[in-house]
A and B are shown apart, each in its own frame.
Chain A
Amino acid sequence: MASNNYYDPADLRKFGKITEWSEDLGNKFFDYYGKVFEEGALTAREKALIALAVSHTEQCPYCIDAYTKDTLQRGVTKEQMMEAIHVGAAIKSGATLVHGTMMMNKVNKLEM
Chain B
Amino acid sequence: MLKEKKKKQQSLQKRDAELANAKRQVEILSNGIFKNGELPTFANKVKETTSHFPLRPKKLEILQINVGYMCNQVCEHCHVDAGPDRKEIMTWETMEQCLEVIRNTEAHTLDLTGGAPEMNPHFRRFVEEASKAGIKDFIVRSNLTIIRANKKYYDLPDFFKKHNVHVVSSMPHWTRGKTDKQRGEGVFDLSITALQELNARGYGLPGSDLRLDLVYNPNGAYLPGDQASMEKEMKAALLEDFNIQFHSLFAITNLPIARFLDYLIASENYEDYMYQLVEAYNPAAVENVMCTNTVSISWDGYLYDCDFNQMLKLPVASKVKHIKEYNEDLLNDRNIVISQHCYGCTAGAGSSCQGAVTD
A binding-site residues for B, Cβ under 8 Å: 9, 13, 43-45, 69, 72-75, 77-78
Q: Is the interface of A mostly helix, strand, loop or mixed?
A: helix
Lowest 10 A-B CB distances belong to which pairs? A74-B225, A73-B225, A69-B222, A72-B222, A73-B222, A75-B230, A75-B233, A73-B223, A77-B175, A75-B225
Is the beta-carbon distance between B226 and A44 smaller than 8 angstroms?
yes
- Known A44-B226, A69-B276, A75-B233; further 16 A-B contacts with Cβ < 8 A: A9-B272, A13-B275, A13-B279, A44-B229, A45-B225, A72-B219, A72-B220, A73-B218, A73-B222, A73-B225, A74-B225, A74-B230, A75-B216, A75-B230, A77-B175, A77-B178
The docked-state distance in angstroms from the alpha carbon of A107 to that of B229 is: 53
Interface centre among A13, A44, A75, A78 (most CB of B within 10 A): A75
The docked-state distance in angstroms from the alpha carbon of A9 to that of B275 is: 12
Could you mark each residue 229-252 of chain B with 1 if its beta carbon is under 8 Å from any beta carbon of chain A, else 0? Answer: 110011000000000000000000
Nearest CB of B to A43, in Å: 7
Is the beta-carbon distance between B224 and A73 smaller than 8 angstroms?
yes
Chain B residue with the shortest CB-CB distance to A74: B225
The docked-state distance in angstroms from the alpha carbon of A75 to that of B225 is: 7
B77 at the interface (CB under 8 A from A): no
Nearest CB of A to B119, in Å: 30
B211 at the interface (CB under 8 A from A): no
Interface size on B, residues (CB 8 A): 21
A residues less than 8 Å from B178 (CB atoms): 77
B173 at the interface (CB under 8 A from A): yes
Is the beta-carbon distance between A74 and B229 smaller than 8 angstroms?
yes
Chain B residue with the shortest CB-CB distance to A16: B279
Nearest CB of B to A98, in Å: 36
The docked-state distance in angstroms from the alpha carbon of A85 to that of B80 is: 38
The docked-state distance in angstroms from the alpha carbon of A45 to that of B216 is: 17
Interface centre among A43, A44, A45, A73 (most CB of B within 10 A): A73
A residues less than 8 Å from B279 (CB atoms): 13
The docked-state distance in angstroms from the alpha carbon of A44 to that of B226 is: 10
Tell me which residues from 163 to 183 in chain B have a Cβ below 8 Å from any Cβ of chain A: 173, 175, 177-178
Chain A residue with the shortest CB-CB distance to B232: A43
The docked-state distance in angstroms from the alpha carbon of A9 to that of B269 is: 12
The docked-state distance in angstroms from the alpha carbon of A78 to that of B219 is: 12
Chain A residue with the shortest CB-CB distance to B221: A69
A residues less than 8 Å from B234 (CB atoms): 75
Nearest CB of B to A22, in Å: 22
B residues less than 8 Å from A74 (CB atoms): 225-226, 229-230
The docked-state distance in angstroms from the alpha carbon of A69 to that of B178 is: 15
Is the beta-carbon distance between A72 and B175 smaller than 8 angstroms?
no
The docked-state distance in angstroms from the alpha carbon of A73 to that of B229 is: 11
The docked-state distance in angstroms from the alpha carbon of A75 to that of B217 is: 10
The docked-state distance in angstroms from the alpha carbon of A44 to that of B276 is: 19
B residues less than 8 Å from A73 (CB atoms): 218, 222-225
A residues less than 8 Å from B230 (CB atoms): 74-75
B residues less than 8 Å from A9 (CB atoms): 272
A residues less than 8 Å from B276 (CB atoms): 69
The docked-state distance in angstroms from the alpha carbon of A73 to that of B216 is: 11
B residues less than 8 Å from A77 (CB atoms): 175, 177-178
